[in-house]
Homo-oligomer: A and B are copies of this chain.
């Protein structure tokens, strides 16, 4: 059970301004629709104004322009969504792991594990591994030879990190993620594929979150790099020698093929796909399900997916996609004739 806080206490820690009863007690966050006594909700999008009017939340976080839309106790601030995130962090602290190495974990000789770190049952930690203060390695994780993990990082159960990788401080890595598996390096030799040893590593900065079943391949020769503050959702595939710039967020099911560089402060929608060897500028937004097939030099929002339709309409139109060039030629021909007529007419 989180400790309750008054609105006044919340504002003294996070800033913002209370309107209404500052002694209102808050124990937990909730949605506008379902929050009740001792719960705080938020309005970040004016679209949900009607829900604000109907809410039974004990208090609401909102922006100055929405201040008068409710008479409930409220906190007025500049960025209600971020403020709400911080309130929830206060009420739901991540907690510090109980230190200790489970008797059923397998620790190789020659590791450096901080006394405040924790390693759960069934985890295997190979030689030369370094685990920082308060690192928490979940049940059944595997940490390969020589890998280093920074302070306060948490690996949920069943994460695999291959040898020779580096993960910074405060990482959160969800179950099933695989970091440092071989990149897809193969060369064709007389009709057979031969393997190119993948001798690079993976270097992950501070404050990175990695979703469940996401894979980040090690570099072919040099390292694959994920910079500070990058947030990766589930089931993302990052190919070898990719670099993801700091503070870029990538939604689920995205694939980034080898050697592509994505800039800083980018936002990548779910299931977007990047072919290899591209360079994407800082501040680029890619819409969900877009195939990024060439480099992007300018910030902005880019999109490319086939619009959904009822199946019969789609089928009728799709055949003409394959005749677009021809259709364009016919229009040009018509234009010539009309122009000719005019000139002759």
- Interface, chain A (partner B; CB < 8 A): 28-31, 34, 79, 81-82, 84-86, 88-89, 91-92, 94, 102, 104, 106, 120-122, 124, 138-140, 142, 156-158, 160, 162, 172, 174-176, 178, 181-182, 184-189, 191-197, 199, 207, 209, 211-213, 215, 217, 221-222, 229, 231, 233-235, 237, 239, 247, 249, 251-253, 255, 257, 265, 269-271, 273, 275, 285, 287-294, 300-311, 313-325, 327-328, 330-331, 334-335, 337-338, 341
Closest Cβ of chain B to A10, distance in Å, is: 15
With A79-B189, A162-B156, A178-B212 already in contact, the answer to whether A315 and B303 are too (CB < 8 A) is yes
Chain B residues contacting A234 (CB-CB under 8 Å) are 178, 181, 184, 215, 217, 237
With A233-B184, A338-B337 already in contact, the answer to whether A310 and B317 are too (CB < 8 A) is no
Chain B residues contacting A102 (CB-CB under 8 Å) are 106
Closest Cβ of chain B to A317, distance in Å, is: 4
**In the complex, what residue of chain B is closest to A44 when comparing beta carbons?**
B187
With A221-B29, A290-B308 already in contact, the answer to whether A213 and B247 are too (CB < 8 A) is no
**In the complex, what residue of chain B is closest to A93 when comparing beta carbons?**
B197
Contact, CB under 8 Å: A273 / B273: no
Chain B residues contacting A157 (CB-CB under 8 Å) are 124, 142, 160
With A175-B142, A309-B304 already in contact, the answer to whether A255 and B252 are too (CB < 8 A) is yes
Sorted nearest first, the 6 A-B pairs with minimum C-beta distance are A304-B308, A82-B189, A142-B157, A181-B212, A92-B197, A301-B311
Chain copies in complex: 3
Contact, CB under 8 Å: A174 / B184: no
Contact, CB under 8 Å: A212 / B215: yes
Closest Cβ of chain B to A31, distance in Å, is: 5
With A124-B122, A186-B249 already in contact, the answer to whether A321 and B308 are too (CB < 8 A) is no
Q: Which of B160, B209, B222 contacts A176 (CB 8 A)?
A: B160
Chain B residues contacting A306 (CB-CB under 8 Å) are 290-291, 304-306, 321
Q: Which of B140, B257, B337 contacts A158 (CB 8 A)?
A: B140
Q: Which of B122, B158, B222, B255 contacts A31 (CB 8 A)?
A: B222
Interface core residue of A160, A239, A323 (most chain B CB under 10 Å) = A160
| Bound-state Cα–Cα, A331 to B332, Å | 10
Q: Which of B138, B275, B338 contacts A288 (CB 8 A)?
A: B275
| Bound-state Cα–Cα, A317 to B307, Å | 10
